A and B are shown apart, each in its own frame.
Chain A
Amino acid sequence: MKHTVVAWMEDRPGVLSRVSNLFRRRGFNIESLAVGPSETSGISRMTFVVDGDERMVDQAVKQLEKQIDVTRVEDVTDQPVVVRELALIRVRTDTQTRTEIMQIVDVYRAQIVDIALDSLIIQVVGAEERINSLIDLLDHYGIREMVRTGRVAITRGRATLESAQHNGNGNGRKMGI
């Protein structure tokens, strides 16, 4: 089963290689990984998708939590979350197919961000399934180039995944690493 996990970590040199090395070494199946700044300065927020059984996901979370640079890890799979991914797709066009493609882009609430004589660049934001289905359609016209960001996630409503640090939020017994 696929799990979406959010991790907060100190923005320090080598932290990404530390995390990716951990995934490689323990044999975790990471489908996507996106990382960028969080609302707290000095803390990066990573969203990754791990595909595996309960034991693998449990291990991925616990091994990450153990890292000194990592301040918090949360498996949000069973929580109400907004999940988004962005894709940029360059598709082949000619005078006959251009209008057709533009209609499809409209239906998918995607955007055309660049037009050339023989191609278009389409930007689409949404859940993975929606992007996959658009890609399937565009494939018919010939996709020349594509880039995807990987999944990012944030909880809905009042539930907040704050970048609260481990020694900052009061719940639970604390322990040295």
Chain B
Amino acid sequence: MEKTGAQIVWETILREGVDTVFGYPGGATLPIYDAMPAYPIRHVLVRHEQAAVHMAEGWARATGKVGVALATSGPGATNLVTGLANAMMDSIPIVAITGQVATHLLGGDAFQETDVTGITLPITKYNYLITDIADLGEALVEAFYIARSGRPGPVLVDICKDVQNSKIDWEYSAELTRPGLVKVLREQPDAVVAAATLINQAQRPLIIAGHGVQMGEAQAELMELAERAEIPVVTTLLGIGVITENHRLALGMGGMHGEAATNHAVQECDVLIAVGMRFDDRITGRLDQFAPKAKVIHFELDPSEVGKNVKPAVTVLGDCKHTLGQLLPNIEPKQHQQWLTTIHEWQDTTGKVDIANQEVDELIPPFVMRQLWYATQGNCTVVTDVGQHQMWEAQYFTHLRPGQLITSGGLGTMGFGVPAAVGAKIGRPDQLVWVMVGDGGFQQTMQELGTIIQENVGVKIGIINNGFLGMVRQWQQFFYEKRYAGTPMISPDYMKLADAYGIPALRVTKNDEVFSAMQQANAHDGPFLIEFRVMEEVNVYPMVAPGAAVGDMIRRPGPAIVQGYSGVQPSW
């Protein structure tokens, strides 16, 4: 049947299983928007295109589907850049569709023309410039396939305006023809057996599980490995939730702000089983002193990640659900009582040092994170922005399920939190969705409060307001002798701001108000905002200084009063 380019866009989106798009119209996407009402699509009008990608990312992480963002040419498209880079770093499946000036104007610096495929080349898994309607359908189908297959990522399709209007006889077909869309793995023979041998011989084995376990839905296989051979599990930031954090083998997040006992375990283990993670510098610290006693086994989907940072003794390539499944029959049931006892002793002593002190009268952010767990009983999706509050959430909220935490890992994108939470709530309408965000990050994308009310998105917003860009301030305190240049930050009156949008809001300044305020937010049907006015100069402990070995941590000074936060239940 004869269809226009614009119709092909919408039909492909629907056929690929997507019914929600996040976008902002403009001159070069008018034909696409004009065709939209004929299709059962929910279009979420954002207030800035950066938020369109972050919402699509939150939606994709919440639903497991490909998120779609739509923007016009020129500035609309360049505003997508931060979100695309974030999706590239965190392997989030996104298809971004941008309008482009008409083909006869291409290359002539026409109004709102910009080289979008050139600009986004290094921050997309692939991109297309469509100048001929004959290429459009196939490119869109490929884009969805590339975005979700293998290691997921963002794909951009830039479509000239005249192509959107022109017509072609077209039917949707999922068939893919290009040779480069399937790769042959260069496999080490018997890798699974070699990995099993190392694991069976290990005295102090340790698992580090990353985002790949979440995306590969391999938590059942991972837990069977951990339990059968009694192997403790560390996660990366994006791996949080692949092991229930109150499990006896869960050691929480490792790395720059990992618990001291957890980082000690990494440095002392003799076999390190890395699953679906890429040895980011935030996990490894100084690379040549990382896990010095360990033989490393790397279960990885993306061959280019193998040996990039850490050279493994054994590499098992492929989807980790599949490869762990192959590994399991070769794993002997085992106990590592002595190793676990050692780790528990470390947890007992180090936890006491690094836990925040609740005996102060002022409100501290770690307490807020812990109270969020109590107020929701862990039954919510938490989205965070980037910075101190993000680390406190990772440390003090006990995550129970894969996908429970949605955060910006690799790129560390401030401003991610609020829009990503909007996307997550639209993707999981029946779940409670909280976003914890700093005063800095909130002010980067707070224009999306407009989207929240227009679309009636019932997301709960917790602003951790410490009057500083807190993580940068912490670095200035540790490494620049407290010269707080450019980090003090004032906020608007958030109560008035929320009121202007018609969003109910509370300001919390005391410890004993936290829980009830959160309960009030939970009970409200619709969006709700709480500002937590917290103590200003609180640090995230422990901390591995940049360039230091991961076992070499800056610890909380002075005596600690509260019990450890992992292995030992906090008193609050």
* Interface residue from B121, B178, B308 paired with A68 (Cβ < 8 Å): B178
Closest-CB distance, B494 to chain A (whole angstroms): 40
Q: Is the CB of B182 within 8 A of A166?
A: yes
Quick one: given A175-B150, A176-B149, are A17 and B121 in contact (CB under 8 Å)?
yes
Q: Is the CB of B180 within 8 A of A173?
A: no
Closest-CB distance, B447 to chain A (whole angstroms): 32
| CB of A160 within 8 Å of the partner chain | no
Q: Is the CB of B319 within 8 A of A175?
A: yes
Quick one: given A58-B307, A68-B146, are A10 and B183 in contact (CB under 8 Å)?
no
The stretch of B184-192, B210-218, B522-530 in contact with A is B184-192
Residue of A nearest to B179 (CB): A165
Q: Is the CB of B180 within 8 A of A10?
A: yes
Residue of B nearest to A54 (CB): B307
Q: Is the CB of B307 within 8 A of A55?
A: yes
User: What A residues does B126 contact at CB under 8 A?
Assistant: 68
Q: Is the CB of A176 within 8 A of B302?
A: no
* Interface residue from B122, B185, B307, B311 paired with A172 (Cβ < 8 Å): B185
User: What A residues does B231 contact at CB under 8 A?
Assistant: none
Q: Is the CB of B186 within 8 A of A70?
A: no
Q: Is the CB of B149 within 8 A of A171?
A: no
| CB of B14 within 8 Å of the partner chain | no
Residue of B nearest to A10 (CB): B180
The stretch of A59-67, A125-133, A144-152 in contact with B is A59-67
Q: Is the CB of B186 within 8 A of A172?
A: yes
| CB of A155 within 8 Å of the partner chain | no
Q: Is the CB of B303 within 8 A of A65?
A: yes
User: What B residues does A27 contact at CB under 8 A?
Assistant: none
Residue of A nearest to B126 (CB): A68
User: What B residues does A177 contact at CB under 8 A?
Assistant: 125, 146, 149-150, 180-183
Residue of B nearest to A62 (CB): B304
A106, B180: Cα distance in complex, Å: 46
Q: Is the CB of B121 within 8 A of A176?
A: no
One digit per residue, 1 when the CB lies within 8 angstroms of any chain B CB and 0 when it does not, for chain A 1-29 equals: 00000000110011001100110010000
Quick one: given A175-B318, A176-B149, are A167 and B302 in contact (CB under 8 Å)?
no
User: What B residues does A25 contact at CB under 8 A?
Assistant: 122
Quick one: given A18-B121, A63-B304, are A175 and B179 in contact (CB under 8 Å)?
no
A21, B115: Cα distance in complex, Å: 15
User: What A residues does B129 contact at CB under 8 A?
Assistant: 13-14
| CB of A41 within 8 Å of the partner chain | no
Residue of B nearest to A22 (CB): B122
User: What B residues does A168 contact at CB under 8 A?
Assistant: 179
| CB of B244 within 8 Å of the partner chain | no
One digit per residue, 1 when the CB lies within 8 angstroms of any chain A CB and 0 when it does not, for chain B 271-312 equals: 000000000000000000000000000000111101110010
One digit per residue, 1 when the CB lies within 8 angstroms of any chain A CB and 0 when it does not, for chain B 146-190 equals: 100110000000000000000000000000001111111111000
User: What B residues does A166 contact at CB under 8 A?
Assistant: 179-180, 182-184
Quick one: given A174-B184, A174-B185, are A10 and B122 in contact (CB under 8 Å)?
no
| CB of A44 within 8 Å of the partner chain | no
Quick one: given A25-B122, A59-B308, A66-B302, are A173 and B187 in contact (CB under 8 Å)?
yes
Quick one: given A58-B307, A66-B304, A176-B150, are A10 and B187 in contact (CB under 8 Å)?
no
A10, B181: Cα distance in complex, Å: 11
A40, B146: Cα distance in complex, Å: 24
User: What B residues does A69 contact at CB under 8 A?
Assistant: 180
Q: Is the CB of A62 within 8 A of B182?
A: no
| CB of A96 within 8 Å of the partner chain | no
Quick one: given A172-B186, A173-B318, A175-B150, are A68 and B122 in contact (CB under 8 Å)?
no
User: What B residues does A17 contact at CB under 8 A?
Assistant: 118, 121
| CB of A71 within 8 Å of the partner chain | yes
Q: Is the CB of B184 within 8 A of A172?
A: yes
A168, B125: Cα distance in complex, Å: 23
A25, B47: Cα distance in complex, Å: 32
A18, B302: Cα distance in complex, Å: 19
Residue of B nearest to A40 (CB): B179
| CB of B63 within 8 Å of the partner chain | no
Residue of A nearest to B184 (CB): A172
Max chain A C-beta neighbours (<10 A), residue from B121, B145, B184, B185 = B184
Closest-CB distance, B488 to chain A (whole angstroms): 36
A62, B304: Cα distance in complex, Å: 5
| CB of A97 within 8 Å of the partner chain | no
Residue of B nearest to A55 (CB): B307
B88-135 with Cβ < 8 A to chain A = 117-118, 121-122, 125-126, 129
One digit per residue, 1 when the CB lies within 8 angstroms of any chain A CB and 0 when it does not, for chain B 217-231 equals: 000000000000000
User: What B residues does A95 contact at CB under 8 A?
Assistant: none
Closest-CB distance, A77 to chain B (whole angstroms): 16
User: What A residues does B181 contact at CB under 8 A?
Assistant: 68, 167, 176-177
A70, B184: Cα distance in complex, Å: 12
Q: Is the CB of B179 within 8 A of A71?
A: yes
A28, B312: Cα distance in complex, Å: 22
A114, B311: Cα distance in complex, Å: 54
A62, B301: Cα distance in complex, Å: 12
Can you offer 5 A-B residue contacts whose CB atoms are under 8 A? A66-B303, A67-B180, A68-B146, A175-B301, A175-B319
Chain A residues in the interface with B (C-beta under 8 A): 9-10, 13-14, 17-18, 21-22, 25, 55, 58-59, 62-63, 65-71, 165-169, 171-177
Chain B residues in the interface with A (C-beta under 8 A): 117-118, 121-122, 125-126, 129, 145-146, 149-150, 178-187, 301-304, 306-308, 311, 317-319
Other than the given A10-B178, A21-B121, A176-B150, 12 more pairs (CB < 8 A) read A10-B179, A25-B122, A59-B304, A67-B180, A70-B180, A166-B180, A174-B182, A174-B185, A175-B183, A175-B319, A177-B146, A177-B149
Q: When A and B form their complex, which 4 residue pairs have the shortest distance between CB atoms, in order from nearest? A: A176-B149, A165-B179, A62-B304, A172-B184
